[in-house]
Amino acid sequence: MGAAADEKDSALALPGTVWALIGACVLVELVLLGADWRLWGSPVWRGMAYGYGGFWAGLLRDWVPNYPGQRVLMFGTYSLLHAGPGHLMGNVLVIALLGRTVWRRIGSRRLLAVWALAVMAGAGTFGLLSDAPAPMVGASGGVFGLAGAAVALYWEDRRSWRGLGGVLGALVALNFATWALSDGQMAWETHLGGFLAGALALRASQPRVP
């Protein structure tokens, strides 16, 4: 009984790598939320954070950056910012669920590599396909990278086209529902780029069997 309980607790526990990803996002949002509520700082902090850390597609064209290196740094900094607590919690829940699942198969280093590549690829895809004048924020590039990695692992385990089609169909339906509920304010481009990067990174990093 004790051994079974320990095994269950271990399966449900989050690894430190996943906690680090969650903690980084939560810490930034808590600082901005406290500023919104005038507990510290100023309510202008959120707008400044978006201005300096959000992903601005226009900066890949002819917009002038706020500081040297912004065009490069924004490929990562946008993933630490969120539109508010609700946006953050949605991403945190998925990071916890998929992060643990993927980590158990590939470990911390490869998980972080998948996350980083997906975050950057999500931003790059958004920059290529979107002309939105507003900044893009959120960890969804990394989140969908984890989803892509999880789907790639599912394919390795099952090799079922029907099952794969069902999983992909569910993801498309979820994205469409989110897009509709948010009145089109969803960076589907980031989701697409992150998902593809996560799946490809997972496949590329898997050991080859001779």
Mean pLDDT of 85-94: 93
pTM above 0.85, yes or no: yes
CATH level 3 topology of 2-205: Rhomboid-like fold (1.20.1540)
Residues 6+ apart with CB under 8 A from 135: 50, 51, 54, 55, 56, 78
Write the pLDDT tens digit of every residue in 171-210: 888 777 777 666 667 899 999 999 999 999 998 877 665 5
Q: What percent of the chain has pLDDT over 90?
A: 74
Structure tokens at 19: 């906690």
Q: What are the CA-CA distances from residue 180 to residues 60, 74, 87, 192 (Å)?
A: 28, 27, 15, 17
Helix (H, G, I), strand (E, B) or coil at 141: helix
pLDDT of residue 6: 40
Which of the residue ranges 1-10, 44-53, 120-129 would you say has the lowest mean pLDDT?
1-10
Tell me the average pLDDT across 68-97.
Answer: 96
> What was the pLDDT predicted at 168?
82
What ranges do the domains of the chain cover? 2-205
Q: Taking 60 as the threshold, does the pLDDT of residue 1 lie above it?
A: no
Place of tokens 């309510």: 43
How much is the mean pLDDT over the chain?
Answer: 89
Task: Tell me if 115 sits within 8 A of 145, measured CB to CB.
Answer: yes
Strand partners, 55: 136
Confidence of residue 10 (pLDDT cuts 50, 70, 90): low
Which residues are CB-neighbours of 57 under 8 A, at least 6 positions away? 126, 127, 130, 131, 132, 136
Cβ proximity of 173 and 52 under 8 Å:
no
- Dump pLDDT digits (tens) for 20-48: 999 999 999 999 999 999 999 999 999 99
Q: Which of 190, 185, 92 is nearest to 148 (CA)?
A: 190
